[in-house]
Amino acid sequence: MLYREAGQFKSSYAADMAIFPIRQDRVALLLLLAFAYVGVPLLAQFKIWPFGSDYLLRAILIPFLILALGTIGLNILMGYCGQISLGAGAFMAIGAYGAYKFTNGVHLPLAWLGSEISIPPLPVLPSILLGGLMSALVGILFGMPSLRIKGLYLAVATLAAQFFFDWVFIRVKWFTNYTPSGSVTAPELKIFGLTFNTPSERYLFCLVFVSLFALMTKNLVRGNLGRQWMAIRDMDIAAELMGIRPLYAKLSAFAISSFVVGVAGALWAFVYLGAWEPLAFNIDRSFQLLFMVIIGGLGSILGSFLGAAFILILPIMLDQVPHALGIPVTVETVSLLVLIITGALICYLLIVEPLGFARLWSIGKEKLRLWPYPY
Amino acid sequence: MLLAGQVLEVLLGGLLSGVLYSLVALGFVLIFKASGVFNFAQGAMVLLAGLAMVRCLDYLTHHEFPTWAAVLLALLFAAGIMALTAWLVQRFVLGPLVNQDGLTLFMATIGATFVLEGASQMIFGSDVYPLRLFPTDAWIIGDGIFPGGILINKLDVWGGLIAGLLVAGLAVFFQSTKTGRALRAVADDHAAAQSVGIPISWIWFVVWLVAGLVALVAATVWGTKLGVQFSITFLALKALPVLIIGGFTSVPGAIVGGLMVGAGEKLAEIYLGPHIGGGIEYWFAYVLALLVLLVRPQGLFGERIIERI
Amino acid sequence: MKADVEPRPVAGRSSVAPGDVLLSLEHVSLSFGGVKALRDVSFDIRKGEIRAIIGPNGAGKTSMLNVINGFYHPQEGVITFKGKRRHDMRPYLAASQGIARTFQNVALFKGMSTLDNIMTGRTLKMRRGILSHMLHWGPAQREEIRHREAVERIIDFLEIAHIRKVPVGKLPYGLQKRVELGRALAMEPELLLLDEPMAGMNLEEKQDMSRFILTVKDTFDTTIALIEHDMGVVMDLSDRVVVLDYGRKIADGSPAAVQGDQAVIDAYLGVAH
């Protein structure tokens, strides 16, 4: 009753193809965006609960947005194109270190060519995008084997990327500008003359990035390229018969996915961490993104947000809820519980609903449309 | 002669440690051959087996049991835990997912990995537990031919012997027994195997149990080498390149792959390392596996994958 | 990454006149290891006709289609399509030259809806690049709507409008085969290869499918090669028939002639050699 689409007839294909064909969905989205763009900063400004302190913004909303972006990127590769990747952390690292180098100026002596590449320090925004571009180029490189190698074997290739780049960013001091500790600091976030310093400002910065990228990804995915990716995922031999070139489809998926993940990595380093070392992007990060994709739902933009929210909030809840109830729980127990619950949830979802929370959400909406009738 | 001696020492050390990798890889091959499932949780199973055994052993030793009895009982206890795990995994994870495609099952084993890692540490503790089942000192041989002799680690030799025995046993099992044949049928096609009356649930339980026992053996050797601790689970990640190189379905492949990875790693670290910065061991195995994949996608001994429409 | 570029050449109608040879196979031999799937097979397909390929199981009929498609590469022989002689085909080349196909075991993209499946058939005709798609509103949307209109015409023709948003994995077998036909038609092919389009259908469904096939030949101006076991269908629909047995061609001609051919009868009934 709440949620009928009765009476909403589409009189053009354009209307039928819209991202949110049902009016209630559009309204809900506008409200959400209004709250996100206007409501949250206002509440934070006047320190109204739950934005009384910086905590919600700094420790939850900002990492949520950035990780959701990374999940969207990984989803492009895994959910839409069906290529498994266990190396997302490495691509985040490439984006982060790439952006770092570009903001500090790139000086690459090419002794064997007798010349050098020298780029002056670039402002923050182009550097982040260029970091993403570097990630895309590496993504294409590691995507090339995907023509001969499929499934699990490809997963191993992506693990190779993960371990290799872990090593590169520790050992090759050029990337960290020869700092003795191996950790680097992000520059000030200055875009078009505006500085983004306070948690509120950083939050808005991330929100704009995430909104734009989510929209761009959704557009790609519902168009011809998205269909090509899904065709390759479902049956790549038959796809070739339609005139879909597997090479182009797979490499474009690797490139765009790595670009988005790279940008997420740059944002993670610049906006959330501020200062970081290579460990921030190790295999744990890869698995974190993997779980967000699986739990949220493969092949769903909404799912990327749901999965990111869940994985991020789970340890916090496991920590706060027993405390609120007066039961003492050690940090270690919490981290072990997180392992158990995440693993169990993945098994459960794979059995019951392989398309994750996103599918559960849309099933819930369908039930809402019929409520109070059962079918 | 000094250089030759050095190379030989590194090579031998590498080969022997490679055999230890093969021990872990064998568990993978077993499950993959029998169910077509790539069991990412093998590393976690090594951890669980190791923890169960070492904690029981410590407990029994603390209660004044004679060493041989304590070891035997601890092994039995750990084997029992692995049997329970095999049953639980079969009942709650694999059973409901029978007939799903390989990727779904793989991701389910990733989920199982995390559950096992968390649960084993919650139940048995998350410290480092040293294990003293094998001698850890070394022999020095060939003193006359090579100056200083060649150092051979006794533990590595024990590991090699055990791996050899295990491989022989498994090879016989798969080729000659009825169960072995049934396992290969199940690996090929779950639904077809079920329809000819092969009891899949039982078969999978047996397979996971055997893999669990292989994990226990690996845990005894690796636990002595490193101590039983969480980082043992990363062995699973090291075993992956071994499997790629050897082929997922080949027991001899696991051995050869392990040898290549072990020897290759050590040699690369000593001789390539100084030129490009140390720590090559971290990724060498993976890059080697990647190169093998590009040339021979099914691994050196694996079966060719033929796709038909 | 592709930006907006000049339009690619689209598979257009060739200059082959109706009645002329569209595709010809000369002395094609194909083997896998020791198994000889096709031995020295030669026949042709004329533009505008319905050519049936029949024969007992294992005769090499599907292998024949796979060779025409470019999935298998024959060891010997020449394939001539629209006047160009080649030693083998490649799938992309076949598709861009105007060959489309359905499969014995339906090869639909199970994760997508009917509509999306058929839309993938329009891939070759879509020219807008990645940047356009990212923006969506503007050129990419207009192109999408244009192709959507073409696809909806096919959906109406095949009477599957009521299931256009249903994920194809959920559809019954008969409807899946229809969707697959739709996907092949979306490519606007010159040559349509149908691998057992009537398999697993009841009488009504077979009548519907026959109707569709005939309309495709007449209205869509498409030449059809079809593998079929139902002799009634073969006799009614086809203009000429070629019979394979153990990889060899044993008969080639009109349906009536082939039906009476002793070698064909022997092959189907099984005669002691």
C44-72 per-position pLDDT tens digit: 999 999 999 998 888 889 999 999 988 88
pLDDT value, residue A77? 92
pLDDT in tens, B214-230: 888 888 888 887 778 78
Residue type, C14: S
- For the cut 80, the answer to whether the pLDDT of residue A150 exceeds it is no
Could you give the count of Cα atoms lying within 13 Å of A291 in the half-sphere of its Cβ? 29
- Single out the residue of A108, A106, A146 nearest to residue A127, CA to CA: A106
> Cβ separation of A156 and B240 shorter than 8 Å?
yes
Find how far residue B36's CA is from the centre of its chain.
17
Give the pLDDT confidence of C172-181 residue by residue, as tens digits.
Answer: 988 999 999 9
**Residues of chain C found within 8 Å of residue A11, distances taken between Cβ atoms:** none
Q: List the single best residue of B104, B306, B307, B309 to mutate versus C (max C Cβ within 10 A).
A: B309
Is A340's CB within 8 Å of B110's CB? no
Q: Which residues are CB-contacts of C118 (< 8 A; sequence separation ≥ 6)?
A: C151, C154, C155, C179, C182, C183, C186
pLDDT mean over A14-37: 81
The pLDDT of residue A2 is 52
Q: What's the sign of the alpha-carbon dihedral C251, C256, C260, C265?
A: positive
Cα(A170)–Cα(C184) distance, integer angstroms: 53
Say yes or no: C69 contacts chain B, CB-CB below 8 A.
no
- How far apart CA C104 and CA B235 sit, in angstroms, is 45
Residues A288-297, mean pLDDT to the nearest whole number:
91
Nearest-CA distance C169 → chain B (Å) = 14
Chain A neighbors of B115, CB-CB under 8 A: 339-340, 343-344, 347
The H-or-E segment that residue A283 falls in is helix A283-296
Chain A (246-285) residues lying within 8 Å, Cβ to Cβ, of chain C: 252, 255-256
Token pair for C183: 């996907």
| pTM of the predicted model as reported, rounded to 2 decimal places | 0.87
Q: What's residue B73's pLDDT?
A: 87
User: In chain C, what residues touch B307 (CB-CB under 8 Å)?
Assistant: none
For A339, the closest of B114, B244, B283 (CB atoms) is B114
Residues of chain B in contact with residue C71, where contact means CB-CB under 8 angstroms, are: 309
A216 touches chain C (CB under 8 A): yes
Quick check: C126 and A243 CB within 8 A?
no
Whether A21 shows a pLDDT value over 80: the answer reads no
Per-residue pLDDT, averaged over A272-297, amounts to: 90
Looking at residue B309, its pLDDT comes to 42
Side chain identity at residue B100, one-letter code:
Q
Interval B280-297: pLDDT, tens: 777 888 888 888 887 877
Read off the pLDDT band of A74 (50, 70, 90): very high
- Residues 6 or more apart whose CB falls under 8 angstroms from that of C218 comprise none
According to DSSP, the residues that pair with B141 across neighbouring strands are B150
Q: Which residues from C are below 8 Å from A19, CB to CB?
A: none
CA-based R_g, chain B, Å: 20
* Predicted confidence band of residue C7 (pLDDT cuts 50, 70, 90): very low
In order of A160, C216, C266, the CA distances from C198 in angstroms are: 48, 15, 24
User: C72: which DSSP letter?
Assistant: S
pLDDT band at C18 (very low <50, low <70, confident <90, very high): confident
The CA–CA distances, whole Å, from A35 to A2, A26, A40, A69, A314 equal 22, 14, 6, 19, 24
| Helices and strands counted in chain A (H then E) | 15, 6
Closest CA to C167 of A355, A240, A14: A355
Which residues numbered 221-240 in C keep a CB inside 8 Å of some CB on B?
none
pLDDT for A116 beyond 90: no
Residues whose CB falls within 8 Å of the CB of residue B252, separated by 6 or more in sequence, listed in order: B167, B171, B246, B301
Q: Is A371 on the interface with B (CB under 8 A)?
A: no
C1 in Cβ contact with A259 (< 8 Å): no
How large is the average pLDDT for residues A278-287?
89
Inform me whether the pLDDT recorded for C215 exceeds 60: yes
Interface residue C102 vs chain B (CB under 8 A): no
How many Cβ atoms sit within 10 Å of the Cβ of residue B161?
Answer: 11
Range C225-246 average pLDDT: 90
Over residues A105-113, mean pLDDT: 77
Confidence of residue C11 (pLDDT cuts 50, 70, 90): very low
Question: In the predicted model, is pLDDT for residue B144 greater than 70?
Answer: no
Q: Give me the pLDDT at residue B308, please.
A: 46
Q: Measuring CA to CA, which residue among A204, A329, A13 is closest to residue C115?
A: A13
Contacts of B3 (CB under 8 A, 6+ apart): none
Kindly report which listed range (A12-21, A125-134, A215-224, C107-116) carries the lowest average pLDDT score: A12-21
Contact A135, A258 (CB under 8 A): yes
Whether B241 shows a pLDDT value over 60: the answer reads: yes
Q: Which of B4-13, B34-43, B132-141 is the least confident region?
A: B132-141
* pLDDT for the residue numbered A1: 45
A213: distance to nearest CA of chain B, Å?
27
B41-78 burial by CB neighbour count: b if 16+ within 10 A, else e? bbbbbbbbbbbbbbbbbbebeeeebeeeebbebbbebb
> What are the residues whose beta carbons fall under 8 Å from the beta carbon of B74, sequence distance 6 or more?
B53, B54, B56, B57, B60
C-beta separation of A69 from A264 below 8 A: yes
Cβ-contact C36, C171 below 8 angstroms: no
Name the maximum alpha-carbon separation found in chain A. Answer: 77
Q: Would you say residue C8 has pLDDT above 60?
A: no
Q: Which of C91, C107, C144 sits opposite A17 (nearest CB)?
A: C144
Residues of C in contact with B309 (CB under 8 A): 66, 71, 103-105, 107
> How does pLDDT run across A225-259, given as a tens digit for each residue?
999 999 988 888 888 888 898 888 999 999 999 99
- What residues contact residue B271 under an 8 Å CB cut-off, 6+ apart? none
Question: What was the pLDDT predicted at A95?
Answer: 94
pLDDT range class, residue C10, cuts 50, 70, 90: very low
Determine the pLDDT at residue B279.
74
Taking all residues of chain B, what is their mean pLDDT, rounded to a whole number? 80
Chain A CB contacts of C110 below 8 Å: 234-235
Please report the pLDDT score of residue A55 as a whole number: 81
Tell me the backbone φ, ψ of residue C161, rounded to 5 degrees.
Answer: -60, -30
- Cβ contact B38:B211 at 8 Å: no
Q: Chain B interface residues facing chain C, Cβ-Cβ under 8 Å?
A: 309
For the four alpha carbons of B243, B247, B251 and B255, in that order, the dihedral sign comes to negative
Residues B214, B92: contact at Cβ < 8 Å?
no
Q: Which of the residue ranges A306-315, B147-156, B228-237 would you say has the lowest mean pLDDT? A: B147-156
CA triplet B300, B306, B307: central angle to 5 degrees? 140
Chain B: nearest CA to C106, how far in angstroms? 9
Higher pLDDT, B153 or C216: C216
Q: Do A347 and B111 touch (CB under 8 A)?
A: yes
Q: Which of A19, A10, A14, A224 is nearest to C145 (CA)?
A: A14
pLDDT tens digit sequence for A158-204: 888 898 898 888 888 888 877 777 788 888 888 887 888 888 888 88
